[in-house]
Amino acid sequence: MALQEQLDRFKKQQEKCQSTLTSIAKSRPSKSSLTQKTVAVAPSPSTSARTPAPAVKFSNDTERLQHINSIRKAPAGAQIKRVIDLLLETRQAFTPEQINDHCYVDMNSNKAVFDSLRNNPKVHYDGKRFSYKSKHDLKDKSQLLVLIRKFPEGIAVIDLKDAYPNVMDDLQALKTVGQIWLLSNFDSQEDIAYPNDPRMVIKVDDDLKQLFRGIELPRDMLDIEKDLQKNGMKPATNTAKRRAAAQVQGISTKQKAKKKKHEISKRTKLTNAHLPELFKNLGS
């Protein structure tokens, strides 16, 4: 009896599955409709003849991204120098976002770089923009000359080099026309700019001139260098070293003896007797 119930249940499941398959088959479109639909949608010969659209190419920006990443991972000092170089070369004021666009230093994400630049003596920060700050605020050659005339004892050229882009050219131009002097300091080997104002007349007493001219300098350069060193000055030459090098190379430091000038005398063999003017100083 239990077996018969199981068979009846199995038959009902089969009938249910059969009805489900029949409903699915009715819902599918026929082959003819598919053919018609395919024909209707089929592209025209002119459309199929067109060349396929080129594939989209993505730009390879890997190298630039690696460069930016290396800058932002560099030490804070290297990033600060990069920003200062940008400000020095352009002489413009930049916001942190503009600095990031120009030299890829993200100051907003690096507090150490931001604070260091804000407190740097070579950088001016107005609360919004960063700009380069030179030691002397100069704009042109006339302002440069006015500043140099304020320092009769001289002003170091290194303090003027970053005043504005072509300041070194203006220094040479002022020197050429005689408005300033550019002299080197033997101790630091740095150039010093001195004013040469024609309105400043310097009068030297005759006694001082005679005293200066009456000083007898040693004849040997070694003695001159020793005297300079005794007075706290550094000689520009090193005669002892130069002479030692000359001896090693077999070069004599002694001056060559001057050749004796031959004069015509009575014992000279006269070969140009037809030129009597050559022998007019001879005695009879």
Name the one residue in this structure whose structure tokens are 């300091």. 185
Half-sphere exposure of 152 (CA within 13 A, CB side): 5
Strand partners, 184: 191
Architecture of domain 62-132: Orthogonal Bundle (1.10)
- pTM score, two decimals? 0.48
Q: Quickly state the pLDDT bin for 212 (edges 50, 70, 90).
A: confident
H/E element, 132: strand 130-132
The residues pairing with 155 across neighbouring beta strands, listed in sequence order, are 193
Contact criterion met (CB below 8 Å) for 160 and 136: yes
- Reported confidence tier of residue 39, pLDDT bands at 50, 70, 90: very low
Q: Taking the chain, what is the end-to-end CA distance rounded to the nearest angstrom?
A: 181
Tens-place pLDDT, residues 8-26: 777 777 777 677 767 666 6
The pLDDT confidence band at residue 80, using thresholds 50, 70 and 90, is: very high
Comparing CA positions, the residue from 230, 209, 210, 204 lying closest to residue 218 is 230
Q: For residue 41, what pLDDT is reported? A: 46
pLDDT in tens, 101-112: 999 999 999 999
Residue 38 has pLDDT above 80, yes or no: no
Handedness of CA 30, 31, 35, 36 (dihedral sign): negative
Q: Determine the 3-state secondary structure of 95 from DSSP.
A: coil
Q: What is the pLDDT of residues 254-278, one digit of tens each?
A: 555 555 555 555 555 555 555 566 5
The chain-wide mean pLDDT, for the chain, equals 79
Domain boundaries, the chain: 62-132, 141-195, 206-244
Q: How far apart are CA 119 and CA 102, in angstroms?
A: 21
Which residue bears the tokens 């730009």? 59
CA–CA separation, 177 vs 262, rounded Å?
50
